[in-house]
Structure 1
Amino acid sequence: MRLARPSTYLCAFVTLLNDRMGESIVFPLLPFLLASFSNDGRTLGLLAGSYALAQFTATPLIGALSDRYGRKPVIALCVAGSVLGLGLFALTVATDWARIPWAAGTSLPLGLLFVARLIDGVSGGTAATAGAVLADISPPEKRAKAFGLIGVAFGLGFILGPGLGGRLGEINVNLPVLVAVGFAAANLVLVLTLLPETHPPEARQPMPRRRELNPFSALRKVFTNPQVRRLCLAFFLFFLAFNGFTAVLVLYFKQAFDWGPALAGTAFLIVGVVATVVQGGLIGPLVKRFGEWRLTLAGLGFVIAGCLLVPLATKANAQPVVFSAVAVLALGTGLVTPCLRSLVSRRLDSSGQGAALGSLQGLQSLGSFLGPPLAGLAYELTGHTSPFWLSMGLLTAVAALVAGGLPSSGPLASSSNTESSQG
């Protein structure tokens, strides 16, 4: 391990921040950016899911490349890809295609938007590689503190992105995307000039076999393990439901309440603030007091309640009801995600931890890919509120899987019995 420089931490932090901000600036504005090309929920869902599909497919390869060739070239390549993807997206939405005779009325602009999102998604391995940089420069006893930078950067990105995007979007809907391109370009310059290589040649590993880079291989393994199969299915269904209704959320706000970018961005800003507070400060004491199993079920209840509130809102009470709904949603998600991961972890001995917990990230990405197109299809075919009711049904199934997944013996059961005696 090499001596850590302040510039190394700075580059890792900015890279993690860029990873979250690039997505959180663009995502709440997708319906407004797409308005010139399509108002169809199916198109929006596919566009939202394409980023997660590319990320799901490419992440194992990016991790292997960083182990083989070093962290710096891989991070630089990924950030450059982010600049290219966001730049192509910005250029496409800013172009007046009606003035281009050979392109007017064609599907070329939409095709370019999908290519841009796929490029940005393939380049989304920056978070994992930046985390590897932090692991390289930190001794084992200080890694938890170093990894705290990941949570800080992600939380800050989820707060700054929607807030900045919403405000700038009121001035010009294309402006937030240009800002995201500029931030990614600054990140690239920082990486190229200040980031040292933290993975020395003697520590590098050969590329794994092609089969090992298949993201579905790890998922097959986790579902053959009866100890975690039920909880992993619950984890997948949770992200399928959550990413489904959030993908059409802003489109629903736009069409049902005539909201603009500022109000839509404020809703996601509230999500970022609440989720950061819960996962950054409250989750530890809450787990100590109530345990992961109870908090997972309580969190699912909050998410279901938030889903219920959104379609009950009217134009007259939209702001207080929707802002309350998204706060409740964020509270529930902030409880479910870490607690469900912990429940899976506690079902396994130390030898199975890495593979299973890595598979959870794959399940999250797969749910993030499948959820938005399914919600967009439901939005168009069965009514604009149907994705919320569909998500409530899926979340109820998740709660049933978690509630029925409490083992009769083992560490999880012991913890539950302790919780009961304390209660």
Structure 2
Amino acid sequence: MTSAPQPRREAAFLFILVTVVLDMLALGVIIPVLPKLIVQFEGGDLPSAARVVGVFGVAWAAMQFLFQPVLGALSDHYGRRPVVLASNFGLGIDYIFMALAPSLPFLFVGRLISGATAASVATANAYISDITPPEKRAGRFGMIGAAFGLGFILGPAIGGALGAYDLRLPFWAAAAFSLANFLYGYFILPESLAPEKRTPNVVWRSANVLGSLDFLRRRLALTLLAAALFLSYLAHESLPALFVLYTQQRYNWDASTTGWALAIVGVSQTIVSGALVRPAVARLGEKTTLTIALACGALGFVAYAVAPTGAAFMAAPPLIAMWGMANPSFQGLATRLAGASEQGRLQGALGSLRGVSGMIGPLIFTQIFAFSLAVDVFAGAGFFVAGLMLATSLAIALAAIRREKGQNVPAEAGPDRR
């Protein structure tokens, strides 16, 4: 069977880019207002609201952890298109539910549903694997990363502006983005997974957390890559957990300064993902690009930890941004180790690793920060630990790369029928 024409593939890729931007816009617009709405429900009790915000964050990550493998397995059997569209529609309805939530328990239920339906990012990655030759996947995953970053740069800005008028308004905007994305995809998005490449039945053994992680154990190179990627995900959790607290404690930054600094970080990462990943992979290859990216990330975290002034601290974001080339390279290498009918389960399993990091990472890094303040020692210890995680990730990734050459799986490999 001949492959899809190039113009059709390009149109499909453009849709996935738009999908990711709109999904991240929808998620991003509620970031500035969700904690404030929780404070409102808690009657202005900030300590109580802070604890609730933490519970909401863990619950959302847990739903991602549980549902990434399910959606990945479903997409391997039914195709990518219905899963992506169902996710967009479900998110839109859920944001409306949260906009109308009369109490905190209703808002919590809405957040759980959001975590489950937003798990389609793995399916979007599988879609990219379907329509892109293996040697070009890392570059396209980099563009997905840029779309991800763009949505998260614009989303909070839009949400903050709308929230100044009404805390519920950003939820309605998020619903509009998601439902518009559903309609766009319904009329435009083609299916990427040919019927003959689908699994004959839903592989429920892989459609759960333990089964999906077992999928990663079938090949040693894939296991090592997954371990390295997990450490990279875990190190990333130090940024949302520590950035605001650390810069306030050490450099006395106010909210405005912190906001501008985060914007610079976001823009830097988007530029790297959108403009540097493709030429870097084309010139250096995925393996060298991954090595450089992880090394830069480790150095960037060490720079965060030891920077004596705020100005010195802001010299590190370019290094952290270069780390943004790691995930597309990880993804490109991993997709070579799974067959065409396994890409959904692969992405679901990798998504579960991100979910685990989202559940435990904030706790790890905030506890390190709290301990460092309690004993009055190195306040940047959390960032230093994140740097060590990336250094370890690099060592494991290099071990995986040494074994990867002999373990490639051709794109036409048959489905896992276990």
Q: CA deviation at 1:304?
A: 3.2
Q: 1:82: how far off? A: 0.9
2:360 counterpart (370, 380, 391): 370
- Kindly provide the amino acid, as one letter, of the partner of residue 393 in structure 1: V
Residue 238 (1) aligns with residue 228 (2): no
Instruction: Answer whether contact 2:159 2:170 (CA < 8 A) is retained.
Output: yes
The answer to whether 1:331 aligns with 2:335 is no
- 2:31 corresponds to: 27
1:50/1:20 Cα in 2 relative to 1: closer, same or farther (>3 Å)?
same
Cα deviation digits, residues 342-365 of structure 1 (max 9, x gap)? 7x759x978899687764443223
2:201 corresponds to which of 184, 187, 207: 207
Q: Offset at 1:20?
A: 1.9
Q: 1:85 maps to what in 2?
A: 94
State the distance in 2 between where 1:228 and 1:190 align: 35
- Tell me if structure 1 keeps the 8 A contact 2:123–2:348: no
2:228, 2:396 within 8 Å by CA — same for their partners in 1? no
Normalization by structure 1: what TM-score? Answer: 0.70
For residues 134 and 322 of structure 2, what CA distance do their matches in structure 1 show? 31
Alpha-carbon distance, 1:371 to partner: 1.6
Residues 331 and 26 of structure 1: is their aligned pair in 2 closer, same or farther, counting only changes over 3 Å? same
Deviations 1:211-259 (A, max 9, x none): 2212233424546866565664443233223224414645777899685
Whether 1:49 aligns to 2:58 is: yes
Q: Could you report, residue by residue, the CA deviation over 1:258-310 in whole angstroms, capped at 9, with x for unpaired residues?
A: 855x665544432321112222323456675775434422321102323555x
Call closer, same or farther: CA 1:81–1:39 in 2, change over 3 Å.
Answer: farther
- Cα 1:329–1:372, aligned 2, differ >3 Å: closer, same or farther? farther
Identity of paired residues, percent? Answer: 29
Amino acid at match of 1:390: G
User: Structure 2 unaligned runs (5+)?
Assistant: 406-418
Name 1:304's counterpart in structure 2. Answer: 302
Aligned residues: 386
CA spacing shift, 1:329–1:383, aligned 2, 3 Å = farther
Instruction: Give CA deviations for 1:143-164 in whole Å, capped at 9, x if unaligned.
Output: 7587676345324323322343
Cα shift at 1:88: 3.1
TM-score by length of structure 2 reads 0.71
The answer for the alignment partner of 2:394 in structure 1 is 402
Give the C-alpha shift of residue 5 in structure 1.
9.0
Partner SS state of residue 183, structure 1: helix
1:116 CA drift (Å)? 1.9
Tell me the residue number matched to 1:179.
173
- Unmatched segments (≥5 aa) in structure 1: 96-107, 414-423
The separation in 2 between residues aligned to 1:130 and 1:229, in whole angstroms, is 22
Match of 1:13 in 2: 17
Q: Which residue is equivalent to 2:69? A: 60
Structure 1 position 78, deviation (Å): 0.9
C-alpha spacing 1:341/1:70, structure 2 compared with 1 (3 Å): closer
Within 1, Cα distance between the matches of 2:365 and 2:270?
A: 26
Does the Cα contact within 8 Å between 1:301 and 1:332 map onto a contact in 2? no
> What do the CA deviations read for 1:90-120 (whole angstroms, capped 9, x no partner)?
334xx6xxxxxxxxxxxx51x3333222211
Q: How far apart are the structure 1 equivalents of 2:271 and 2:173?
A: 26
Q: Is 1:46–1:373's contact at 8 Å kept on the other side of the alignment? A: no
TM-align CA RMSD: 4.6
What corresponds to 2:121 in structure 1?
A: 127
Matched, 1:393 2:385: yes
